Amino acid sequence: MDYRDALLRALARRTARHGEVLSKLSDPDVVQDHRKVTALSRELGQLRSFRDLHDAITADRKALADARELLASGDAEMKELAEAEIAEAEPRLESRWKQAEDLLVEDDVLGDHDVILEIRAGVGGDEAGLFAGDLLGLYQRFCALKGLKLEVMDENPGEMGGYKEVIAEVTGPGAYRLLSPEGGVHRVQRVPATETQGRIHTSTATVAVLPQAEEVDVKIDWDKDVREDKMRAGGPGGQKVNKTESAIRLTHLATGISVHMQDEKSQHKNRARARQILAARVFDHFQSQADAQRTAERRGMIGNADRSAKIRTYNFPQDRCTDHRVEFTVHNLDRVMDGDIDALHERLRQAQREEKLRALLKRLEQEGGESR
């Protein structure tokens, strides 16, 4: 099997999945579940382009084979017709093979998922907390520009401002695709507001971008799989916060992953939000186990918050922002902090596409070798 046969097989697998999803959407039990219908409908939309391209390539290959067979028959009357069909079908098919590469390289079933965005102060004390707050502002403005909605779910403010930790939900078309490049350790170099001698400090904050789990993605029995602990909320908030057991800690027993939520005064609301975050973390955990590439990406997102472990540096004295994954620098930090990070994302996407294409070629070659 050659490379293009392997491309067609990859398209065929997604075409088969399209049929499976279509069948599920006609299942009366599924139709009654709004969340499942929404998730499956979204997947169906993503798979439709694979099915259409698979069908188009299959039809073009057959038309080209028929025209060549007709030409080889030696029928003088049909020669001109066959040559015209070949001249039209060959470039059309070449274009479709390129489309197949592009589709398979960019294939990301998680791309349209909503996001749990986690920002934590790293090395640098109070300045790291301030920087974490600056990053939240950057993403709030970026999301507004992209038509996404960002809502803070839980926050742990820093003593001098900013955040020790802040967790937000981002919803809207392509949320994970748009925000996934931001996962990692971010480094800032600037003179902090608290610095009296004008010295430049280096601080970090970590950003994790988790695709939000849906019921069809991860199954959690909240009664059997999760331990729930109720407690009084800490920090400011008056008598209600301190005297009512409104805070919730959920622990997923199989993985040990836990979430503590106290931001809301209502225990019911804290439980609902904690479940949302826990489901996303558990989903990410199992996705990472199943996919070595996502495991590496997850480690890259969290890192160890050390100054040397970074994906991006925001250097205020030099008015520049450098993405170290592609060694690409943009200037005018005010625009970057205002959410204008498209140039950084575009350069990163170009590099990632090249890597993905190499990986795709290698995988398809291996599939071809195994089939022989």
Q: What is the CATH number of the domain that holds 8?
A: 1.20.58.410
Per the domain annotation, does 266 fall within a domain?
Answer: yes
pLDDT digits (tens, 9 = 90+) for 276-316: 898 888 888 877 765 555 445 444 454 555 555 699 999 99
H or E segment and range at residue 82: helix 76-106
- Residue 58 is encoded by which pair of tokens? 């299959």
If you ran DSSP here, which 8-state letter would residue 25 be given?
T
Show contacts of 3-7: CB within 8 Å, 24+ apart. Answer: 3/361, 3/364, 3/365, 3/368, 4/97, 5/368, 6/364, 6/365, 6/367, 6/368, 7/97, 7/100, 7/101, 7/104, 7/364
Q: Domain check: are 174 and 148 in the same one?
A: yes
pLDDT-derived band at 212, boundaries 50, 70, 90: confident
Check: CB of residue 159 under 8 Å from CB of residue 128: no
Are 335 and 247 within one domain? Answer: yes
pLDDT at position 304: 54
Residues 120, 206 contacting (CB under 8 angstroms):
yes
Contact between 114 and 172 (Cβ < 8 Å): yes
pLDDT tens for each residue of 122-166: 999 999 999 999 999 999 999 999 999 999 998 999 988 999 999
Question: Which pLDDT does position 233 carry in this prediction?
Answer: 64
pTM: 0.68
Does residue 41 register a pLDDT over 50?
yes
pLDDT exceeds 80 at position 63: yes
User: Are 75 and 116 part of one and the same domain?
Assistant: no
Domain C-terminal end among 107, 129, 161: 107
* Token output for 226: 């999760």
In a domain, residue 196? The reply is yes
| Residue 228, domain member (yes or no) | yes
Which residues of 232-291 form beta strands (DSSP E)? Answer: 247-252, 258-261
Whether 65 is covered by a domain: the verdict is: yes
Q: Do 98 and 117 share a structural domain?
A: no
Name the least confident of 89-98, 198-207, 297-306.
297-306
Q: Are residues 94 and 117 in the same domain?
A: no
| 210 belongs to a structural domain | yes
Residue 238 is predicted with a pLDDT of: 43
Mean pLDDT, residues 183-204 taken together:
89
Residue 204 lies in a domain: yes
92 & 152 share domain: no
Question: Is the pLDDT higher at 172 or at 289?
Answer: 172
What's the pLDDT at 40?
83
What is the share, in percent, of the chain residues with pLDDT greater than 70? 86
206 plus 264 within the same structural domain: yes
Tokens at 286, concatenated: 């199992």
Evaluate whether residue 79 is within a structural domain: yes
Instruction: Compute φ and ψ for 173, nearest 5 degrees.
Output: -60, 125
Helix (DSSP H) and strand (DSSP E) numbers for the chain? 11, 11
Domains in the chain, number: 2
Report the distance separating Cα 182 and Cα 123, nearest Å: 18
Same domain, 74 and 142: no
Q: How confident is the model at residue 237 (pLDDT cuts 50, 70, 90)?
A: very low
Residues 140 and 286 in one domain: yes
Q: Both 69 and 130 in a single domain?
A: no
Q: What is the pLDDT of residue 371?
A: 53
* pLDDT for residue 240 is more than 50: no
Q: How far apart are CA 204 and CA 185, in angstroms?
A: 7
Instruction: Return the CATH number at 131.
Output: 3.30.70.1660
Mean pLDDT, the chain, integer: 85
Boundary-marking domain end, from 86, 107, 128: 107
State the pLDDT at residue 38.
79
Which residue, of 88, 107, 126, is where some domain finishes?
Answer: 107
**Residue 145 belongs to some domain of the structure:** yes
pLDDT of residue 235: 53
3-state secondary structure of 119: strand
Terminal CA-CA length for the chain = 7
Same domain, yes or no, for 101 and 115? no
Q: Are residues 43 and 179 in the same domain?
A: no
Instruction: Please give the residue range of the domain that contains residue 274.
Output: 111-349
Looking at the predicted structure, is the pLDDT value of residue 30 above 70? yes
Query: Would you state the pLDDT for residue 216?
Result: 54
**Residue 245: pLDDT band with limits 50, 70, 90:** low
